[in-house]
Chains A and B, each alone.
Chain A
Amino acid sequence: MAIKQWAQGRSLWLMHFCTGCGAVELPPTMTSRFDMERFGIAPMATPRQADVLLVTGYLTVKTLKRVIRSYEQMIDPKYVIGFGSCTVNGGMYYDSYNVINHLDLYIPVDVYVAGCMPRPEAIIDAFLKLRQMIVNGEADGWKKYRENLEWYRKNQRKILDVDKWGLL
């Protein structure tokens, strides 16, 4: 059990959902200057292969639907990192008519990185925090999502126009 969590913490494959401006801080984190691959963090092409969903920035209602679909396609155990102020409280778009303010209402977030934008050091710090949480068995957002699916669905339905666009 311990070796399982040790391995899960040291091999985090990303699915970076590049919404908003957060994506611009990821290339420097991946490439020569900050080099996140030394912690076993690597970008992956599809949600099926990934462990971490990285929501980088503001989410419009339209994108939220895609985020939820991508999140549900990922294989357990899976983790979510909310990236930048926009995922925490809406950030500079807090009063926009089509941007959600709290990501936590729709999918379970394990780690938030505050800042507009967070620097690569802060991003790597968030990953190391997530690793620590996985090793300690605290990163259980995916369990919460399974257990409280009704609550999450209720919130999702409230914001997504289900009558018009159909269920998720």
Chain B
Amino acid sequence: MFVVKAILTAILVIILGLLYGGIARKVTARVHRRYGPPFYQNFIDVLKLFSKRLPTSHGVMFELGPVMAFGGMLVSLMFLPVGRGNPLFTFEGDLFVLLYLIVVAPLGLALGAGQASNPNATIGIARGLTLMIGYEFVFFVSVLPIIKDMHTVNLFRIAMAQSGSLSSLNAVRYPFSFAAALISMHAMLGEKPFDQTVAPHEIASGPMVEYGGKFLGLLQLYHAIAIIVETGLVVTFFLGGFSMPVFFLLTFVLFIMAVIVNTVMPRFRIFQAVQFFFLLPLVLAVINIIINAG
């Protein structure tokens, strides 16, 4: 039962993640006043990538990198309460485990790309890890007042405590923290202006530069899960307690919001991005802590 539930969740989230990505491409196209690819284009892309021949390898870690990224994100998903049902792993303090596990995925990619020893990949990894100092810290500060008021670090309980009336939603009770968490989520998703890690025109897609074919297909699946996990984390904290369809709808709305910002924004330089996180979002998050302390 446990295994079946895990596999079904993974398949559902991968399909939804690819669908979100496809719709995001369509939305981007419409903002550019283009027609855009069909909404199922991402499925075709993944199918094509897996149908390619085995790509050149640069060593064992290079091959394990995408697997580690995919697996790390898959395990993080198992900690996320999707809808009202219990997540697969739930215990007091699972928030910290989840925050650690989310880092496993980019770290795996970093190790894999590191073995290819392409300078573009190295720059991309350095940027990704630097950016993490900015958004991880802000995200954690923005959820601090929630943890303090609810006296729990269990994701499922935090989500369920918000069900009931609209005013019990954390987004309403902690609006400044919500804003800070949204900005932080934007950087987690790697949308512009925080896409320094990938930056296709500048460092040739960063950590992915040497990956092609089946490896790239796996990374696309990783990205599909990452979309849901990262938006789902914000939904759990600030808009939690709804049933499963509403949960996915909310993740979709947050993701499309990020995509629309992405289409009209240029890219920050890396030090500007980190500086930005320690100015506006951090101040927003701290404001809510001060309000709630009083």
Interface set of A (CB-CB < 8 Å, partner B) = 3-4, 7-8, 10-11, 31-32, 35, 37-40, 44-51, 73-77
Contact B212 A75 (CB under 8 A): yes
Please name all residues of chain A whose beta carbon is closer than 8 Å to the beta carbon of B45 when the two chains form the complex.
Answer: 11, 40
Return the CB mask of B49-64 against A: 1 if under 8 Å, else 0.
Answer: 0011101100000000
Contact A38 B209 (CB under 8 A): no
Please name all residues of chain B whose beta carbon is closer than 8 Å to the beta carbon of A40 when the two chains form the complex.
Answer: 37-38, 41, 44-45
Contact A32 B36 (CB under 8 A): no
**B25: interface (CB < 8 Å):** yes
Q: Give Cα A76 to B54, complex, Å.
A: 8
Contact A10 B34 (CB under 8 A): no
Interface set of B (CB-CB < 8 Å, partner A) = 25, 29, 32-38, 41, 44-45, 47-48, 51-53, 55-56, 200-201, 204-205, 208-213, 216
Q: Give Cα A94 to B261, complex, Å.
A: 49
Determine which of A38, A45, A51, A76 lies in contact with B204 in the assembled complex, contact meaning CB atoms within 8 Å: A45
Please name all residues of chain B whose beta carbon is closer than 8 Å to the beta carbon of A32 when the two chains form the complex.
Answer: 32-34
Supposing A8-B48, A37-B29 touch, asked if A45 and B209 sit within 8 A by C-beta, the answer is yes
Q: Give Cα A40 to B47, complex, Å.
A: 13
Contact A48 B210 (CB under 8 A): yes
Contact B200 A11 (CB under 8 A): no
Q: Looking at the assembled complex, report how far the CB atom of B95 sits from the nearest CB atom of chain A, in whole angstroms.
A: 36
Q: Give Cα A3 to B32, complex, Å.
A: 31
List 17 A-B pairs, Cβ < 8 Å.
A10-B41, A11-B44, A31-B32, A35-B29, A35-B36, A37-B29, A38-B29, A45-B200, A45-B201, A46-B209, A48-B209, A48-B216, A49-B205, A50-B212, A75-B52, A75-B53, A76-B52
Q: Give Cα A83 to B200, complex, Å.
A: 24
Q: Looking at the assembled complex, report how far the CB atom of A147 sits from the nearest CB atom of chain B, in whole angstroms.
A: 15
Q: Give Cα A161 to B29, complex, Å.
A: 46
Q: A11-B47, A49-B212 are in contact. List 15 more A-B contacts (CB 8 A).
A: A7-B51, A11-B45, A11-B48, A31-B32, A32-B33, A37-B29, A37-B36, A38-B29, A44-B200, A45-B200, A45-B209, A46-B205, A49-B208, A49-B216, A50-B212
Contact A46 B204 (CB under 8 A): yes
Please name all residues of chain A whose beta carbon is closer than 8 Å to the beta carbon of B51 when the two chains form the complex.
Answer: 4, 7-8
Interface centre among B35, B36, B44, by most A CB within 10 Å? B44
Which residue on B lies nearest to A34, using beta carbons? B34
Q: Give Cα A39 to B204, complex, Å.
A: 23
